[in-house]
A and B are shown apart, each in its own frame.
Chain A
Amino acid sequence: EAQVTQNPRYLITVTGKKLTVTCSQNMNHEYMSWYRQDPGLGLRQIYYSMNVEVTDKGDVPEGYKVSRKEKRNFPLILESPSPNQTSLYFCASSFRLAGWDTGELFFGEGSRLTVL
């Protein structure tokens, strides 16, 4: 089954304790992205990757890191989490994003993170 898998789905942690949210897709998609979703603010892009070893900042990259060593995986790293990073996080992938031929974004089920 074609899917984007995120782990963990739920996490409660404390300020400053490094954590990683994993994301894996089995559709051989080139493009992957991380979003956070907060009430009233919609989806805000954190980082994206157009292909292996190519990553770029989105609109809200501060406090986050990513890597794209393999095509299927795109982990999101919070080196020193703070309470303002409490949010619902989504990983998404697409065959490509290129002008008029913008592909469908496939989303994971989300990871709800609480930082105390």
Chain B
Amino acid sequence: TQLLEQSPQFLSIQEGENLTVYCNSSSVFSSLQWYRQEPGEGPVLLVTVVTGGEVKKLKRLTFQFGDARKDSSLHITAAQPGDTGLYLCAGVRDSNYQLIWGAGTKLIIKP
């Protein structure tokens, strides 16, 4: 059972377009992390959101944590080929502080 549903699973768009990736759960998380993984490498942390309703920006990437701390979104403005990769969300369980991972969104930005 996937406790953290990530959508879409795959997205291929043209350079310059905007996109949003969603991470949803029925569980409450104490915080949520977003990672990006490139082929042949391990995931690398992009951001951690902690407070319900929190919005964080990282250049063209905007991350939001839902008010109820059950969901999160990643919005990319004017996507670039360098944004290509696998985007993973991970929620921190309140009970034992372990991470629950979404299945990932494979993003391809075509020049």
Contacts and interface: CB of A to CB of B under 8 A. Distances in A.
Of all A-B residue pairs in the complex, the 10 with the closest CB atoms, nearest first, are A107-B42, A42-B103, A43-B101, A42-B101, A104-B45, A97-B97, A102-B92, A102-B31, A90-B42, A107-B43
Interface residues of B, number: 26
Given A99-B30, A107-B41, 6 more contacts: A35-B101, A42-B104, A43-B43, A58-B98, A97-B97, A102-B99
A43 B43 CA distance: 10
Given A40-B9, A45-B98, A100-B30, A110 B103 contact: no
Contacts of B108: none
Interface of B: 2, 6, 9, 30-31, 33, 35, 40-45, 48, 50, 88, 90, 92, 94, 97-99, 101-104
Contact of B99 (A45, A108, A109, A110): A45
Interface string A91-115: 0100001111010111111100000
Interface centre among B42, B94, B99 (most CB of A within 10 A): B42
